Amino acid sequence: MFDDRLLKRSKIAIFCLITFSAIIFFILCDDLIYQDSLRPSATKGPEEVLQARPHRNGEGIRSTLVLTHSPLRSMQQNEGVGKGNQGILVAPFNSTEEERIVWFKGKLHEFKILQSDGLSRQFHARILGFFSHECESQFFMTWEYPAGSFEARELLSIESLFKVHPKACLAILSRTLDSILGYRILKPLLDRRFRVQAVAPDLPFLFKGTPAEAWLNELMKGKKDPGKISLFQNLSNLMRLAVLYKYGGVYLDTDFIVLKPLSVLRNSIGAQSMDSGNKNWTRLNNAVLIFDMNHPLLLRFINEFVLTFNGNKWGHNGPYLVSRVVERLGERPGFNLTILPPLTFYPADLKKIGGLFGSLLLSGFERVDLRGFEKI
């Protein structure tokens, strides 16, 4: 009798141990499966990894895209457009003007964006065709980096744009994104029926009939110093002016979070800083430009770029350029320009942005945009 009881207790103990072990096993397996679902598979394409989640209302701007670029990196390496290639088209450090010009001539064939080909020559027709699809407003961005560098921040920026402007159309002027890889990166946005398209720009066409046409010809002939700063960055400054002059619309940098409609504005530029005493602006910025087609001020901006181009000073051909031109114009009539205060486009100061992430004050902002300053 005693042995039977002991045997029964042993069986119960063994059964409990097995049951407990099984429960632990299933918990661990479930956790591993969950973690694996978050980890990109090398066999999955980007469109399978970038999936949509239900949007949570009432929580401000929240991305509905779950994404990772890990599977893209192997593709980027195979296609030669990985992040590591960014520095290849920047002049050697501490090089002289003559050395930079020689370097540029040797690398000219690698600056694909400067050249016309079968794809870029379709630029005008593609832009007109794209904007003919019942667009309530037309937006432009530029992307001069490898396609694989277009990541979470940029996708969130575009998502916020369409959240506020659901019937807008966005053309991204980019040779790298106008590719199979670029299509895969943008596919989560296209799957949500956002009207976004990457278009390889044709700079000779885009600059034709403006002062930039002669500047581009001289650059291609090796008569211009490309400068220490990435030429792509300065080309972006010029492209945004030229595309607005040709087509009109809204230009946005790719690190903006749009909170309120921009389509209600016309012929507007934002001040980044103001004098606290007299309330006059001290610096404008070209990160947001809203202009009608053929606006005369855009032609002034392009002419200033050509006459004063300096590829060695950050901002000289961008924010400082628009500031110089508008300051010289003063109150001269005929330009129909609205200068918006800093809180409209740039509520977060670069030097103070870190403090915004230490509290919930950010949720109380009532602004049009929040500039990312490369840290979001």
Task: Look at residue 158 and tell me whether its pLDDT is greater than 50.
Answer: yes
Chain CA centroid to CA 306, Å: 25
Of the candidates 188, 156, 157, the residue with the CA atom closest to the CA atom of residue 49 = 188
- Pairing status of strand 195-199 against strand 249-252: unpaired
In the prediction, which pLDDT does 12 show?
A: 64
Task: Look at residue 286 and tell me whether its pLDDT is greater than 50.
Answer: yes
**E strands present in the chain:** 51-52, 65-66, 138-142, 169-173, 195-199, 249-252, 256-258, 268-274, 281-291, 338-340, 369-371
The total of other beta-carbon atoms located within 10 Å of residue 133's CB is 10
pLDDT digits (tens, 9 = 90+) for 81-113: 444 344 458 999 999 999 999 999 999 999 989
Contacting residues for 34 by C-beta, under 8 A, at least 6 apart: none
Structure tokens at 74: 């192997």
The total of other beta-carbon atoms located within 10 Å of residue 16's CB is 10
* Predicted TM-score of the model (pTM): 0.75
What structural domains and CATH numbers belong to the chain?
49-371 (3.90.550)
pLDDT digits (tens, 9 = 90+) for 22-42: 555 554 444 433 333 333 333
Are 353 and 370 within 8 A, CB to CB?
A: no
Give the separation between CA 292 and CA 276, rounded to whole angstroms: 31
